[in-house]
Every structure is written in C-alpha cells, then in structure tokens.
Chains A and B, each alone.
Chain A
C-alpha cells in the first residue's frame, strides 16, 4: 500500500464528525490517503458541544479546540479555512470552493476559487439552524446558535452586561444559550412553544423542575409562547407574541431546531430525503461519496446528538480503511444539559403507553426526580433530575435490555441499592459495572476499552485516558466515572492531579475553584463549600484565606470580607513578630515624608515605648515591637497626623518606590516621584493574590531598582517603559518588558489593567512572576498592551473594585472596629487580686 500512490480524500466540512472520521482513519490506515479539508468556518476543528461554556465564560475557544493547527500538519492534511465548497462535479471527480472569510485568514488568496480532484469524498456539511419565517427575522440583532461566530456575536451583544435577550426555543440549545447570556449579565427571557421545556427529552414533571431551576437563575420562561413578529427600526427592538405580549429585546436568539444542510449534495444529484441518504456503510447513492454527521440520513433517521454522529464517523473511517464489515446501527442516545449547576439526564423513550409501566421517585424539596419507563420488565426510558449519577447505569440496563424483575423494588434508588444490601461507594459502583457498560456517551467508550487502555498502555492520568480513548473528552460529564476507573485500577498510585488540589479539603485546583465561583455565582465561603462539596466542615488555614480573596476579587462591593479567614497580619492590619508583638508601617507616598510626619512618628515611638525603629527596603519607616493592645492607640495617633496604613502586612499593594526624577535629578527624564505617588494613591488598598511591590525610576540608571519589582516603570525621554514579573526575594529575576507608552495616563491605565488581570488569574500566594511564567508573557502583553478593549475593560474593573477597597483600615480600627481583636475578653489576674 505504501508504495502505491496515495488516494486523494477530500472532506467537505470540518466539524466534529468528519474530524473524528479522519482520526479513526489515520489510526487504521495512516498512509492510505492524502487528505484535503474544506472548512467554511475560518478555523480548525473544535468541540461544538462546548460552545455553551464559551458563551458563559467558563471556557475559552482555545480550550475547546479538538485539532490544533499542528494536527493537520502532522497528518499532512491540507486545510482550507474559510473556503465554502460550491460545486461537486461527480463526472470529473472534483470539488470547487470559494473563499468566503478572507478577513480572518491574515492573507488574501490569489484566486477567488480553488478546484481539487478526489478519489473519495466525504460530505460533512452539518446542518443549518432553523429560522422562523416571522416578520423581522432578518433584522440585525437576530442570531442563531450554531457556531463560534454566533457565540462571538452574542458576546458582543452582551457586552456591558445590559440589554434584554429573548431566546426563542426552550430546548437543549436554547436553554444553554439563555444560561450563557444570563452569565454575561443580560436580562433573558426564554420563549417556548410547548407547555413544558425540553419536551422531547423530558417528561412534564422534569420539565417543570427544570423550569423552576432556570427561573431561579433569574431567567424568565414563557411557555406556550408563539412568536408573531420581531419588530424594530433598523435593528431588533421588540418581540411580539400572538397573544399581544410585547417583549423588549436588544438581542434575539433563535434556537428552534436544525435542518440538515444537503443543498450541495442535492445539486450534485445525490439522493436526498430529510438528509443526504446513506446506507449502512455511510455511502451515498454515489459509492465514491460518503456522507456523515448531521447532514446524513441513515436508517431513515437524521441525528443531532454526538454519539450517533461519532458512530457514523467510525463506520466511514473503517470503510475507507478497507474494512467492509463495520456497519452503522442507530441506537438509543442519552442527553445531558450543559448548564453548570443543573443536572439533567434523559435516555430512551418515555412516552406513556398502555403496555408500559413507570417507577417514579420524587423529592421536591431536594429537587430530585427520577422516572423509569419499563416494558416487559426492561428499562426503555429514563429521566433524571438532580442527582444524575446513576444515569449511565440505567442507560446501560436500557441498551442491554436487561430483565430487571429481580431488582425492581429497589431499582429506582440506583445502582448502589438495586443490588441489595449496603450502598456501594462510588468506586465499587463503577467496579461493579460490566465491561461493555458505556462510560462516555459522547464518544461511545465502554468501560472495557478504558480499563484495557489503562492496563495495556500504562496510562496514569485523566488526560492520558482522554488522549487515548476519548472518554470524557467531549462534554466532560463522565469525568468522575473515568477517574473512578483510574482509581479502581491504579489504587493509591493514581494521582488525580495534573491539577494540584487547593488543599486537603477539596480535589479542585485553584483555577477550577475560581471558574466555579463565577459560573455558579458563589458569593460566600459556606455557600462555596456546600456547593463544591468541601470535605471539611469549614476548610483549613490554606483554603480559607484563598477563598476569601477569590470571593472578594470576584464580587467587589457584594462580598463581605470574612476576617476569620484572614491571616492574623491582615486581620489586625499589622505584621506579627516572633514574640507575638507587631510592627507598624505607615504609608509614605512614593517614599516621600515630611517634618510633621517624622515628628509624629518620633512622638509615638516614645509614647508607646516602641523598642525598634527601622527604615524598610520600600522607602518607609517601620516601628517594631508594638504590643497588640497598643495598636489602636498607635493608629489613632498616626491618623491624627494624616498617615494611613502602609499595608506592609497585606497580600496587596505594598510600596511604590521612586527616585527623585526631574524634580531634582540632572539625569531625570520624567516626573518619576509624581508618577509613583499617583500610582500609589490610585492603587493602595487593592487586594491581590500575593504582595505587589512597585517602583518608578526617572531614567535608565534606574535608581529606584524598578527592574526587579512585581511592576516597575523606567522613564525614558520618549515616555515610559513598563516592566513586570521581576523578583528579588526567594528568587532573583529581572523584569520583563510589558510595553512602552508615551504618556502618564497610558502608563497608569496599562499598569492597573495588568494588576487586574493578575488579580483575576493569579492563584492565591502566587507572585506576579510566577503567574506570568505559568500563563505566558505573550498572552499578558497581548491582553494588556495590544488589545485596547480588553485593557479598558480590565482597567474599569480595577477602578470599580477600588471603590470598595480604599478605606484606611487603621482609621476604622482607631474608631473601634474589631475592638475585640485587641483586648483580652477577661482578666483573671486582676480579679484574683481583688
């Protein structure tokens, strides 16, 4: 085979199904074909199932890419991005494509079209969203929910958070779109034609529970809603229902269904019906042309869920690789809703009929609902809401058509109870599954394949299992099951952490927790621990300060700081010393002080018998050895002299060190002291993942040592060089250049944006240089310097959060706040003396 000329395989469409077919083909027959792909979208193959998390902000596009550019190179695939195939010439065995989206390619093709010959052709044109033909459906602001362009358009419309979105269609996609838009801050209304939501996958009872959960997120739901018209002058303004209701709308998303995209196949003279008709080998009426995915009609059905589409891909790949035996057989599918915090699972057929029985379990207060539909003692349908962990088990019973007569009484309680006796722990429950039980519904991976790969290939981590078997690589909802399999097989050697858990109280890593704080709108520590299933009753000294910071950072003005979750230094706003006394460092803006301040400090040192006074490395004065009960009095006296806390104890902005710049220095190029003072006055009080030390030097001689700081500025004749990610502590590291700006205003905006990006992405106690090393310097430069909109948004968020941060903690405590911190609750020594 290798010596013969390769056959030419052309693929029309670069969605998930053709992508999977090529993967399988390269495994089975790596050298058989020279492959060319035409993608009407200007990008690589990505996971459409995961568009909803992109819309809600839980994932980025990069995270849902299935095949990066490297994959195409590695397999010698020619990928035409942004090229739409317009003609299939079956007689000549060629396809012709037009370039449609040159804007995103970075270059303009020389020719407007390209024609490529094929030996075998795969049509994977997918489907088109159905547009309701109501008046106004073509107004700007009416979108569908199908690909990344739609998501980007929605995110654009949601920018700034205000505005009304109306989502037409209360099915899977519509609800995911609604939840995502709500996360983006819009007011969202879902219109659904039928009496209950997701009526194709859910029975009415579960539909109501779902509606309640959706409404609890602040999304309005109107059922039995028949859209009459979309109205607006030049853009959408109002959605009108046939009962006269008028809903204001700045954005309308139509998610009422999909229609196989078979235009191209039809024009080429292939047999089409509801979709492009294929036989069980995935061949169309032309044996050299295959069709698969949402555009294909197999066995009289068209499909929209990923499992059967991947099955089609497997069959087509096998056939192309010369295996004539593999045939397509449609089977029952299971559905999950990908809205974080709502658990829903449905599989099979659950319509009511005479010969069917049902078993129902309800627990309305806990929001639990389960319904099994049985026929001849076999499960034919299952709907679960709330706790859906048993979904795959019921689905397995359904697919294998198991006689459940023996365990009928306990069946509804799930796998652990149905077997009788004591409930199984999750690992034992997974271990009890038969080898052919399906674990990953999206990719059709059964237990035996996963355990086989773990043993045979020596896999050790979730990522490896995903890479080799695809299990849990799509929607990810079976991740827990796959981890249980790893645990069962590897025992204690299984380390679930490529992700390092925050601490012993959770399996979740810092980034995961931060993501979930946003996604689930968690706004207090107890709520977070409940929702994320913390293993301890109230955390530990590692996680509590981190959680307190994350919540404070994410919900400025809303979250109430939990002082019991702060380290002592931040709780009492002073630095604890080895003997239990404290040190006090007032702010000296930009390192400048005055006779008045110095006199006040001298008086305080004498008045409270403070043993040591020292100049710090950050150009301020440290009073060491202050007794705890004296702290409020010391602060009151400092306040009276106009001094505020220097936050020398804080995971927050510490000092801004400066040189004298153009004020005095004969080499100074800019007013470095002035900029330093401005920065410090603007940024003081902000909490950050770890301490932030800054400096501004007036010329490249760099007397303020700005190039070993977390953030530093070096002034030059033409403006300001902004530096970041330096260190001069445990590690020594020179800074990296963030960029150059011409004016002070630009410098302040860029620095605040940088600080905000760090505040939002840094892990607790992770200094800027470590954060930068982890996420990459280039992405930081891109977001802060190149992307003006992003910079402005970061800057605005920083400014907003500062509104709540700039209260001098010393003045507050001098006035009596947290007084209990500073005095004993009882003095028994005195009482004994009386």
Chain B
C-alpha cells in the first residue's frame, strides 16, 4: 500500500462508537481498536495487548485507559503504555475529528503525536 494514497481516512462518526467503548477497524495489517472515552475523546491503538495479544477492543474503557479482557493489563489510551507495574506498549495511530466525523491515519509509525 502506498502511504501517500491514504494519509487520513474517514472511518465512522462518533456515534458509531459507544461512549466508554470501542470499535474495530480492519486493515491489511490487522485490526486497529478505536476507543471513545466518556468525555468523547477518541484514540486508536493496535488491537493487541502487549502482554499476550489480547483484543484490547473488548476491554472495559475507564478514564483514558482500557483494561485488557484476558489478564487485566491496563493500557493508557493516549500513550499506548502499560500502566502500573506492567511493562509494554502498543502502537498508536493519530485520530482526528471534524465535528462528528472521525478520521484515522494508519500511515503513522506510532511515534508521531496523535491529534485528538
């Protein structure tokens, strides 16, 4: 895939994602989990827990964190880092909102600052 072709892609509206919930975006390289917090912030992470690959999209979203459904690792949505004593990080993707429309940039290597 040519990165120049798809910088920002409109994926859904805010209403498609439940508050304190998550939806999955399927890509060629796997799934990206797009989270919406109670405050309507949107974040995107690879849908794989750094611990044992659990689907983060199925976890409980609280504050700016998600708890993995498999073994309760808590991952920060903004930085992709495991919280507390656990060590590990998940790849992040920039997300942008224009009103209710949600755009995702999958070209990012995760080191760029996300705009949300």
Do the beta carbons of A829 and B72 come within 8 Å of each other?
A: no
Nearest Cβ on chain A to B66's Cβ, whole angstroms: 8
Of chain B, the residue at the smallest CB distance from A825 is B23
Of chain A, the residue at the smallest CB distance from B10 is A826
Do the beta carbons of A567 and B60 come within 8 Å of each other?
A: yes
Tell me the complex Cα distance, A544–B66, Å. Answer: 13
Do the beta carbons of A580 and B62 come within 8 Å of each other?
A: no
Do the beta carbons of A831 and B9 come within 8 Å of each other?
A: yes
Of chain A, the residue at the smallest CB distance from B47 is A580
Tell me the complex Cα distance, A824–B11, Å. Answer: 10
Of chain A, the residue at the smallest CB distance from B5 is A832
Produce 1/0 per residue, B34-65, CB < 8 A to A. Answer: 10011100000000000011110011111101
Tell me the complex Cα distance, A824–B31, Å. Answer: 9
Produce 1/0 per residue, B17-43, CB < 8 A to A. Answer: 111110111111001001001110000
Do the beta carbons of B11 and A580 come within 8 Å of each other?
A: no
Partner of B67, one of A541, A572, A832: A541
Do the beta carbons of A832 and B39 come within 8 Å of each other?
A: no
Do the beta carbons of A828 and B28 come within 8 Å of each other?
A: yes
Do the beta carbons of A828 and B38 come within 8 Å of each other?
A: no
Q: With A825-B24, A829-B27 in contact, do A541 and B60 touch (Cβ < 8 Å)?
A: yes
Do the beta carbons of A828 and B69 come within 8 Å of each other?
A: no
Partner of A824, one of B20, B25, B53, B106: B25
Do the beta carbons of B34 and A825 come within 8 Å of each other?
A: yes
Produce 1/0 per residue, A511-545, CB < 8 A to B. Answer: 00000000000000000000000001111110011
- Provide the residues of chain B in CB contact with A563, threshold 8 Å: 18
Nearest Cβ on chain B to A632's Cβ, whole angstroms: 15
How many residues belonging to A are interface residues under a CB distance threshold of 8 Å?
A: 30
Whether, in the assembled complex, A3 has its beta carbon less than 8 Å from a beta carbon of chain B, the answer is no
- Provide the residues of chain A in CB contact with B74, threshold 8 Å: 541
Q: With A564-B61, A825-B34 in contact, do A576 and B28 touch (Cβ < 8 Å)?
A: no
Produce 1/0 per residue, A562-602, CB < 8 A to B. Answer: 01111111011000101010000000000000000000000
- Provide the residues of chain A in CB contact with B67, threshold 8 Å: 540-541
Do the beta carbons of A538 and B63 come within 8 Å of each other?
A: yes
Whether, in the assembled complex, B1 has its beta carbon less than 8 Å from a beta carbon of chain A, the answer is yes
- Provide the residues of chain A in CB contact with B28, threshold 8 Å: 828-829, 832
Whether, in the assembled complex, A827 has its beta carbon less than 8 Å from a beta carbon of chain B, the answer is yes
- Provide the residues of chain A in CB contact with B62, threshold 8 Å: 536, 538-541, 544
Do the beta carbons of A824 and B26 come within 8 Å of each other?
A: yes
Chain B CB within 10 Å, residue with most, of A536, A538, A563, A571: A538
Whether, in the assembled complex, A820 has its beta carbon less than 8 Å from a beta carbon of chain B, the answer is yes
Do the beta carbons of A537 and B38 come within 8 Å of each other?
A: yes
Do the beta carbons of B24 and A824 come within 8 Å of each other?
A: yes
- Provide the residues of chain A in CB contact with B69, threshold 8 Å: 567-569, 576
Do the beta carbons of B63 and A564 come within 8 Å of each other?
A: no
Nearest Cβ on chain B to A813's Cβ, whole angstroms: 15
- Provide the residues of chain A in CB contact with B58, threshold 8 Å: 568, 571-572, 576, 580
Tell me the complex Cα distance, A829–B6, Å. Answer: 12
Tell me the complex Cα distance, A820–B67, Å. Answer: 20
Tell me the complex Cα distance, A578–B6, Å. Answer: 33
Do the beta carbons of B27 and A828 come within 8 Å of each other?
A: yes
Chain A CB within 10 Å, residue with most, of B19, B39, B60, B61: B60
Q: With A567-B69, A824-B24 in contact, do A541 and B59 touch (Cβ < 8 Å)?
A: yes
Of chain B, the residue at the smallest CB distance from A576 is B69
Whether, in the assembled complex, B113 has its beta carbon less than 8 Å from a beta carbon of chain A, the answer is no
Q: With A580-B55, A826-B26, A829-B27 in contact, do A564 and B12 touch (Cβ < 8 Å)?
A: no
Do the beta carbons of A827 and B18 come within 8 Å of each other?
A: no
Produce 1/0 per residue, B96-108, CB < 8 A to A. Answer: 0000000010100
Whether, in the assembled complex, B86 has its beta carbon less than 8 Å from a beta carbon of chain A, the answer is no
Partner of B54, one of A536, A572, A580: A580
Tell me the complex Cα distance, A566–B26, Å. Answer: 24
- Provide the residues of chain B in CB contact with A827, threshold 8 Å: 25-26
Do the beta carbons of A828 and B9 come within 8 Å of each other?
A: yes
Do the beta carbons of A828 and B20 come within 8 Å of each other?
A: no
Partner of A820, one of B16, B53, B72: B16
Nearest Cβ on chain B to A233's Cβ, whole angstroms: 58
Tell me the complex Cα distance, A566–B67, Å. Answer: 12
Do the beta carbons of A564 and B25 come within 8 Å of each other?
A: no
Partner of B106, one of A571, A580, A820, A828: A828
Tell me the complex Cα distance, A825–B54, Å. Answer: 19
Produce 1/0 per residue, A792-826, CB < 8 A to B. Answer: 00000000000000000000000000001000111
- Provide the residues of chain B in CB contact with A541, threshold 8 Å: 59-60, 62, 67, 72, 74
Partner of A576, one of B31, B38, B61, B70: B70
Do the beta carbons of A538 and B38 come within 8 Å of each other?
A: yes
Interface of B toward A, CB cutoff 8 Å: 1, 5-6, 9, 11-12, 16-21, 23-28, 31, 34, 37-39, 52-55, 58-63, 65, 67, 69-70, 72, 74, 104, 106
Q: 6 tightest A-B contacts by CB? A: A541-B67, A825-B23, A568-B58, A826-B11, A541-B60, A564-B20
Q: List, sorted by A's number, 12 A–B pairs whose CB atoms are closer than 8 Å.
A: A538-B37, A541-B59, A564-B18, A564-B21, A567-B69, A571-B58, A580-B58, A820-B23, A826-B12, A828-B6, A828-B9, A828-B11
Beyond A541-B72, A566-B60, A828-B26, 15 additional pairs, beta carbon < 8 A: A536-B62, A537-B38, A537-B39, A538-B37, A541-B67, A541-B74, A544-B60, A564-B60, A824-B23, A824-B26, A825-B16, A826-B12, A826-B26, A827-B26, A832-B5
